Amino acid sequence: MPAVPLSNEKLTEAVEALRAAGGNMTHAARTIGLPRCTLQSRVREAELRGLADFDDPKLVALCSDVNLRSYATVRQGELADAVVQFGSLPAAAGVLKISCSELQRNLRRMVDTASIRGYSPDHDWTHPVPNTHVAKGVSTYYPSPKDEEGRSVGPGQWVKADLRQEAYNEMVKEAIAGFVADVPQIPVNPAPLDVQRDIIPWIQIGDAHIGMLAHAAETGENFDLKIGERELCTAIATLIDEMPPCERIVINDLGDGTHYDNVAAVTAASGHRLDYDGRFAKMIRVWSRTMRFIVERTLTKAQHVDVILNQGNHSSVNDTWMRELLEVAYGHTGRVNVLNNDNIFIGYRMGNTLVMTNHSDKCPPARLVGVMTTDFRKDFGETQFHYIDVGHVHHHFVSKEHPSVVIESWNNLAAKDKWAHESGYRSRRAISVVLRSRTYGEVGRRMLPIEAIQERIALANNKLVVEPPRAYSV
């Protein structure tokens, strides 16, 4: 039976939502409760029916700005050339054989990228920052107006602008969506057939801090990109190889998978400078490679893999784009589900068991039960076993203050950085798998300590295990 054509009202609603969101397709789709690809299809159909006009004379004029064009990607430069040549967005879109809304979105990304770097001539921002920086704030002074005799009329005015983290994150999402649209889909091995169905193993990846740098002379342990990747991948391989085939496995990255999420290598909230290894791009390559290893190794033992990427205070931006990247790379398989992490409180219902995850840098454990019982009240009332998994603190604890809800923080594998070492923080380095039953809640767990991981690595490379530091002896 042929599909019923959408009404003009539905298409117009999609167009108006996109306009209200300032051309941000991701935000518009979320506002009206549609998948992003569905909203794109409706906007294209609206253009074909003549229900939408996305011409933008101001944007057309900006395409001729040579300074602005320096912030364009190769593709954005080609689109801007076409707009300059043909004089309008609809005319250029027709020649390029893309929708006018798609052309507009790509050019706005170019404008947004320039403004993040401090260049926006419409707002008198003409002094951009270097390529290695972003403009977190711009202040512009406008002198008081003059009368006919040259006397000041009223006071001058300072206009100050700050970079909103929310706006920056939205821009990152839009850029990722455009970038990965044509990314090849990664093939995976066939799923196991004879599997256990009631028990779902949860791999609890505590704050991995890939990209952190520590020197044994200062902290007692070495840590860098190479060590972080090697130890985490060895741990995952060990745990996965021990498991029986499962219907589902959950990869729960509890946040701060990367040590920093900007080229300045500082924390976004407080601006603290961090000890980091290598360039930002190098860290991103290592983290992407590590996540690919984790997902594909898990797929060898699971018919379906659910990936949770909690937003950490060190890694929020990277957690956003990693979610999008994994969805594009593996979504086509029908076996990898990457949970939406726009909301930092993520609920996971499995039969009679309810789990909520959160990095817990903003919301302390004492308030998490209230969040679970409020945000997921229906699931809470219908289930018997309730768990809240958190990261951030690096050590293991179980809260005993809340009947029927177990709040648990999980150890991490990363070594201490200089700040943590000198502040006196100490905790066991380990990674855990929790066996949670749909019917009976937790039924078992396996903890793999860092010592066992390092011993396995040393034996594989015919090297001796590094001895821990010892006190001076006379």
Residue 158 structure tokens: 């300072």
pTM of the model: 0.68
Residue 145 structure tokens: 């107006």
Residue 176's pLDDT is what? 60
* 8 Å CB contact between 468 and 220: yes
d(CA 313, CA 74): 33
Q: Where do the domains of the chain lie?
A: 8-143+153-167, 189-460
d(CA 383, CA 313): 31
* 8 Å CB contact between 148 and 125: no
CATH architecture of the domain with residue range 189-460:
4-Layer Sandwich (3.60)
- Give just the sign of the alpha carbon dihedral 222, 224, 226, 229: positive
Q: What is the pLDDT along the chain (474 residues), one digit of tens a residue?
A: 455 677 888 888 888 888 887 777 777 887 888 877 788 778 878 877 777 777 788 889 999 998 888 888 888 889 999 999 988 888 888 888 888 878 888 888 888 888 877 888 888 888 887 765 666 667 777 777 777 777 777 777 777 766 666 666 666 666 566 555 555 667 888 888 778 899 999 999 999 999 999 999 999 999 999 999 999 999 999 999 999 999 999 999 999 999 988 878 887 777 788 888 878 888 889 999 999 999 999 999 999 999 999 999 999 999 999 998 898 889 888 899 999 999 999 999 999 999 999 999 999 888 999 999 999 999 999 999 999 999 988 888 887 667 889 999 999 999 998 988 898 988 899 999 999 999 999 999 999 999 999 999 998 887 766 667 777 777
Residue 1's pLDDT is what? 44
